[in-house]
């Protein structure tokens, strides 16, 4: 769900030490630009890290000598790109490399980069130069504005002691955030189940799984294991145990880390005269201030309250019917929600998420989302050979379908494995620049069942692919505001826009094109899935609202203790808080780059639904798609989001489509 850019996105030349050019296939497109580094040992990471930092230091000293004339922005951007080339792959590889020692080396390197980047952000000579440059046009003006703000938010304008404190805080927050992710990624929790407890769970999920000495099946918390158990296990005890294990992922250690992170962020914001980290961050975003974001969340809550109650009542009735007990003796527990949602889907809409897997094999699903992009945006994806961190990771060259011009590179890592990042995300580790002729590269990471995807998972793939498109089809002048480096409460919009594409018949027909041997998914099944999704939108939106409101509260002036705040807020919802669970311990978004930004998912969704109106009835229309590629995706962050939306829709953005959707 996530998109990751390096913070203070400054980044080093593709050195011969770390980067080896890929061989091209005879006639087709080749991988554009440097190959992803093929690190096999911690020593190689360390060596690349030393070299990268050395070169970044040298490039910084050169940049300090550049006069603040019209060419300064391009020089600054070249430094940014240089730094990103060394830093981007290291920042990314720590999430996916199969060797824990390599991941550890990358994490150690990342902390050194963080310190380097914070120091760049506090560099007075660069700051003074940025302020002295006369912008030639709007794009330069926007690039300068963002650059100057990034310097100011790094503490360049603070008195020396405060500036040092800001750097210490930034470095400490990075280290704590790393530890938070590591505690989740490396936990290797296995939940034991007797085969009898797994009645209802598709056999393919657990038949081949490891067993303990008593013959119990051991299942991890990865999505392909977790969801089938909580959605399908007939045994309430099994569901509860799995759910509780997931709700304790990260553990008490992560609650302490989250508390420290949010307190330090508050302290950081106070150095700049802001009351809270939320205020400090939101002043640079579409929302502008915490009060506006809060008002928006209140409106959403109001709009979904009734729908949520209706959903929960239906689930509780389903439970009473299933257990053949009176409704007033029936309590809906949190670990019941997914199970009875599935039952109701089957009952009301006769749709079973599992039944989609045979229609959507993983590799063909990837080709399918690529075909959607090819049809809408006039591009082509070509697999290219690459030596990557794992044999299953794949590389694609993206080119313009009409001209054949190379556009970008995309790496995809589809399946779960131990030590791999467990959610779905895109890393924009290399930003494009038309001025420098530099082509973007991104990596898409998901964790799918090898047997195939459910329609919800296909939706997730399309969402992440939307981020990859945003990164890959960027055509900005400067790397520093390429693709996904737009305002954070807008960045989800292009991905969310695509989410409902899969319920469209003409779109789904493309599956047959990429997989002639695949049986086409029946229209009727898709129609039912769409109806089933409508049915849970109240409770799902209410949950998103809770996450967003919690994140803002955590980053408010008090920086409250995370569990106390969570117990209060989750406790105030209809299903309440379950003692002994600690959902925030695995809430990586708030510990990481989405801190005080989770509301952006709902905020962006408003824009996404508005963007969809231009594609109404013609989701694959290449003319609208091309206009969208040029006015929105291609523009990255070089114009404010409001303007991009206006350029595409021919009017200001409106929340009408969003509230109509919630009300219908
Ligand atoms: Zn996302």
What spacing in Å lies between the alpha carbon of 201 and ligand 1's midpoint? Answer: 29
What spacing in Å lies between the alpha carbon of 136 and ligand 1's midpoint? Answer: 34
What spacing in Å lies between the alpha carbon of 460 and ligand 1's midpoint? Answer: 9
Secondary structure of residue 441 in the 3-state scheme: strand
What spacing in Å lies between the alpha carbon of 499 and ligand 1's midpoint? Answer: 10
The pLDDT confidence band at residue 9, using thresholds 50, 70 and 90, is very low
pLDDT attached to residue 273 = 96
The b-or-e profile of 404-413 (16+ CB within 10 A means b, else e) is eebbbbbbbb
Question: Using CA atoms, how far apart are residues 79 and 90, in angstroms rounded to an integer?
Answer: 17
- Rounded to an integer, what is the distance from CA 449 to the centroid of its chain? 19
pLDDT attached to residue 131 = 97
Looking at the predicted structure, is the pLDDT value of residue 328 above 90?
A: yes
The pLDDT confidence band at residue 2, using thresholds 50, 70 and 90, is low
What spacing in Å lies between the alpha carbon of 625 and ligand 1's midpoint? Answer: 20
What spacing in Å lies between the alpha carbon of 52 and ligand 1's midpoint? Answer: 30
What spacing in Å lies between the alpha carbon of 592 and ligand 1's midpoint? Answer: 14
For 228-270, how does the pLDDT look when each residue is reduced to its tens digit (9 = 90+)? Answer: 999 999 999 999 999 999 999 999 999 999 999 999 999 999 9
* Token pair of 568 as six digits: 């209060």
Between 352 and 34, where is the model more confident? Answer: 34
User: What is the rounded radius of gyration, in angstroms, for the C-alpha atoms of the chain?
Assistant: 24
For 487-533, how does the pLDDT look when each residue is reduced to its tens digit (9 = 90+)? Answer: 999 999 999 999 989 999 999 999 999 999 999 999 999 998 888 88
pLDDT attached to residue 593 = 86
What spacing in Å lies between the alpha carbon of 458 and ligand 1's midpoint? Answer: 14
The mean per-residue pLDDT over the stretch 617-622 comes to: 95
What is the value of pTM for the model shown? 0.90
Question: Using CA atoms, how far apart are residues 62 and 78, in angstroms rounded to an integer?
Answer: 11
What spacing in Å lies between the alpha carbon of 224 and ligand 1's midpoint? Answer: 19
pLDDT attached to residue 21 = 33
DSSP 127-188: HHHHHHPPPSSHHHHHHHHHHHHHHHHHTTTS-HHHHHHHHHHHHHHHHHHHHHHHHHHT--
Of the candidate ranges 146-150, 340-344, 494-498, the one whose mean pLDDT is the lowest: 340-344
What spacing in Å lies between the alpha carbon of 462 and ligand 1's midpoint? Answer: 10
User: What secondary structure, in 3-state letters, does 494-540 show?
Assistant: HHHHHHHHHHCHHHHHHHHHHCCCCCCCCHHHHHHHHHHHHHHHHHH
What spacing in Å lies between the alpha carbon of 464 and ligand 1's midpoint? Answer: 6
pLDDT attached to residue 3 = 53
**Are 484 and 3 in contact, with CB atoms under 8 Å apart?**
yes
How far is the CA of 609 from the CAs of 287, 462, 486, in angstroms?
17, 16, 18
What spacing in Å lies between the alpha carbon of 385 and ligand 1's midpoint? Answer: 28
Element (H, E) at 630: helix 622-631
The mean per-residue pLDDT over the stretch 132-145 comes to: 97
For 55-66, how does the pLDDT look when each residue is reduced to its tens digit (9 = 90+)? Answer: 999 999 999 999
Between 63 and 535, where is the model more confident? Answer: 63
The pLDDT confidence band at residue 70, using thresholds 50, 70 and 90, is confident
Please provide the average confidence, as pLDDT, over all residues in the chain: 93
Looking at the predicted structure, is the pLDDT value of residue 15 above 50?
A: no
What spacing in Å lies between the alpha carbon of 583 and ligand 1's midpoint? Answer: 20
What spacing in Å lies between the alpha carbon of 4 and ligand 1's midpoint? Answer: 9
What spacing in Å lies between the alpha carbon of 496 and ligand 1's midpoint? Answer: 7
What spacing in Å lies between the alpha carbon of 630 and ligand 1's midpoint? Answer: 21
Task: Map out the domains of the chain with their CATH numbers.
Answer: 9-184 (1.20.1050.40), 188-239 (no CATH)
For 366-424, how does the pLDDT look when each residue is reduced to its tens digit (9 = 90+)? Answer: 999 999 999 999 999 999 999 999 999 999 999 999 999 999 999 999 999 988 998 89
| HSE (side-chain half, CA atoms, 13 Å) at 602 | 30
What spacing in Å lies between the alpha carbon of 236 and ligand 1's midpoint? Answer: 32
What spacing in Å lies between the alpha carbon of 70 and ligand 1's midpoint? Answer: 36
What spacing in Å lies between the alpha carbon of 194 and ligand 1's midpoint? Answer: 36
Question: Using CA atoms, how far apart are residues 333 and 349, in angstroms rounded to an integer?
Answer: 23
Looking at the predicted structure, is the pLDDT value of residue 183 above 60?
A: yes
What spacing in Å lies between the alpha carbon of 463 and ligand 1's midpoint? Answer: 6
What spacing in Å lies between the alpha carbon of 106 and ligand 1's midpoint? Answer: 24
The pLDDT confidence band at residue 354, using thresholds 50, 70 and 90, is confident
Helical H runs in 94-137? 100-121, 124-132
């Amino acid at each position: 769900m996530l998109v990751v850019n390096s913070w203070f996105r400054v980044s080093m030349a593709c050195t011969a030490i770390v980067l080896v050019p890929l061989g091209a296939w005879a006639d087709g497109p080749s991988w554009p630009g440097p190959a992803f580094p093929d690190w096999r040992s911690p020593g190689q990471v360390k060596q690349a890290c030393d070299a990268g930092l050395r070169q970044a230091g040298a490039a910084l000293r050169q940049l300090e000598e550049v006069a603040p004339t019209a060419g300064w922005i391009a020089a600054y951007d070249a430094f940014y790109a240089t730094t990103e080339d060394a830093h981007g792959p290291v920042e990314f590889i720590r999430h996916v490399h199969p060797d824990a020692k390599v991941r550890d080396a990358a994490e150690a390197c990342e902390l050194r980069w963080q310190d380097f980047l914070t120091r760049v952000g506090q560099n007075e000579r660069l700051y003074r130069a940025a302020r002295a440059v006369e912008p030639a046009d709007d794009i330069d003006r926007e690039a300068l504005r963002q650059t100057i703000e990034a310097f100011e938010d790094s503490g360049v304008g603070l008195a020396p002691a405060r500036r040092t404190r800001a750097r210490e805080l930034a470095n400490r927050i990075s280290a704590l955030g790393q530890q938070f992710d590591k505690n989740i990624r490396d936990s290797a929790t296995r939940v034991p189940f007797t085969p009898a407890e797994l009645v209802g769970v598709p056999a393919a999920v657990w038949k081949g799984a490891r067993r303990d000495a008593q013959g119990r099946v051991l299942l991890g918390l990865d999505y392909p294991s977790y969801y089938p158990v909580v959605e399908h296990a007939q045994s309430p005890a099994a569901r509860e145990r799995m759910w509780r294990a997931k709700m304790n992922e990260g553990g008490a250690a992560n609650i302490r880390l989250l508390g420290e992170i949010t307190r330090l962020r508050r302290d950081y914001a106070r150095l700049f005269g802001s009351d809270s980290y939320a205020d400090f961050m939101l002043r640079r975003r579409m929302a502008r201030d915490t009060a506006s974001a809060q008002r928006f969340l209140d409106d959403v809550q109001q709009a979904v309250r009734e729908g949520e109650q209706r959903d929960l009542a239906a689930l509780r009735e389903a439970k009473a019917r299933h257990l053949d007990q009176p409704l007033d003796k029936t309590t809906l527990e949190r670990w019941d929600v997914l199970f009875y949602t599935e039952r109701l889907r089957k009952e009301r809409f006769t749709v079973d998420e599992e039944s989609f897997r045979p229609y959507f094999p993983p590799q063909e699903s990837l080709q399918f989302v690529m075909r959607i992009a090819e049809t809408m945006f006039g591009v082509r994806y070509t697999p290219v050979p690459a030596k990557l961190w794992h044999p299953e990771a794949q590389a694609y060259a993206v080119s313009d379908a009409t001209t054949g011009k190379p556009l970008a590179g995309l790496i995809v890592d589809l399946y779960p494995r131990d030590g791999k990042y467990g959610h779905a995300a895109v890393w924009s580790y290399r930003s494009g620049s038309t001025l420098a002729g530099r082509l973007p590269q991104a990596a898409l990471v998901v964790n799918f069942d090898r047997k195939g995807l459910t329609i919800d998972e296909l939706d997730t793939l399309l969402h992440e692919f939307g981020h990859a498109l945003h990164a890959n089809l960027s055509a900005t002048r400067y790397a520093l505001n390429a693709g996904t480096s737009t305002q954070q409460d807008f960045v989800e919009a292009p991905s969310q826009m695509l989410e409902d594409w899969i319920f469209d018949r003409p779109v789904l027909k493309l599956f047959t094109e990429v997989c002639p041997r695949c049986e086409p998914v029946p229209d009727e099944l898709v129609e039912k899935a769409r109806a089933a999704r409508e049915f849970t939108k109240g409770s799902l939106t209410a949950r998103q609202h809770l996450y967003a409101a919690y994140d803002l509260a955590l980053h408010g002036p008090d920086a409250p203790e995370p569990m106390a705040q969570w117990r209060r807020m989750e406790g105030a919802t209809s299903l309440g808080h379950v003692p002994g669970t600690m959902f925030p311990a695995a809430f990586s978004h708030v510990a990481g780059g989405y801190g005080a930004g989770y509301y952006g998912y709902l905020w962006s969704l408003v824009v996404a639904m508005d963007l969809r109106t231009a594609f109404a009835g013609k989701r694959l229309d290449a003319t609208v798609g091309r206009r969208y590629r040029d006015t929105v995706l291609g523009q990255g962050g070089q114009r404010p989001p409001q303007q991009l939306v206006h350029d595409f829709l021919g009017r200001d953005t409106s929340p009408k489509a969003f509230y109509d959707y919630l009300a219908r």
